Copies of this chain bind each other. A is one copy, B any other.
Amino acid sequence: MPSGTLYLIPVPISETDLCLVVPNYNSELVNSLTYFIAEDAKNARRFLKQCNYADISKAEIAELNEHTKSNSVSELIKPLIEGKNVGLLSDAGCPGIADPGADVVKLAHQKNIVVKPLIGPSSIVLSIMASGFNGQNFAFVGYLPIEKPQRCKRIKELENLAVKSNLAQFFIETPYRNGQLFDDLIQTLQPETLLFIGINLTSSSEKLVSKSVKMWKQAPKPDFHKIPAVFGIYR
């Protein structure tokens, strides 16, 4: 029996109309599926509702998150091996980018299961596009360390990579720590280094700003406490 296909299905990253952020095809595809893997089943059901999913009580949603044991990932792909198509949903954004979905995708490749990524919003990708930094050379490095000394050391390291390897560096922070990270960046980076901040992307209050650290020091501190943001540095 041929295996099913693993569809990687992006989920909106803000409260917004689906037609603004995903191709029509995605909703059609979602409606053709019964099996889903998601970070959080409740969020997944909310997304199915947005897609006008016919009968949500019939959707089978398995959870994959930081509590999932690595040996149970193989349980998750069982329907695929039995020939059923499965949709992998992120909590917000694109599966496999800054979310735990990569483990399922990795195993799918090992089992020769066809993986099909769909198009949709990713705050990281939109930030890379909108930064005006170097689209030929960029890295996303996830979260920086929480403790101030290690964090400042890491910021210097990333600035060095941006300058010496010409590699624009993007990273994120837990939203309630955005202000702290901003302060550490402004204090640690050199005045001529460019700092990009993308706040609440795709929402009606989206804000995308790129300027030198020197200019940031003269500007009011961004108002983004507890609001999702992406940071980038480049020279």
Contact between chains at B142 and A167 (CB < 8 Å): no
The distance in angstroms between the C-alpha atoms of A158 and B176, with both chains bound, is: 35
Taking the nearest CB of chain B, how far is it from the CB of A228, in angstroms? 15
Find the B residue at minimum CB distance from A143.
Answer: B136
Of A43-51, A79-87, A123-131, A181-189, the one with at least 4 CB within 8 A of chain B: A123-131
Contacts of A94 in B (CB 8 A): 125, 129
Contact between chains at B131 and A142 (CB < 8 Å): no
A98 close to B (CB within 8 Å): yes
The distance in angstroms between the C-alpha atoms of A45 and B105, with both chains bound, is: 37
A40 close to B (CB within 8 Å): no
Contact between chains at A132 and B23 (CB < 8 Å): no
Contacts of A20 in B (CB 8 A): 23, 25
Contact between chains at B98 and A136 (CB < 8 Å): yes
Chain A residues proximal to chain B, CB less than 8 Å = 8, 17, 19-25, 94-99, 101-109, 114-117, 119-122, 125-126, 128-143, 167, 201-202, 206, 208-211
8 A-B residue pairs with Cβ-Cβ distance under 8 Å, sorted by A, are A19-B25, A97-B135, A102-B135, A105-B131, A119-B120, A119-B121, A139-B139, A141-B167
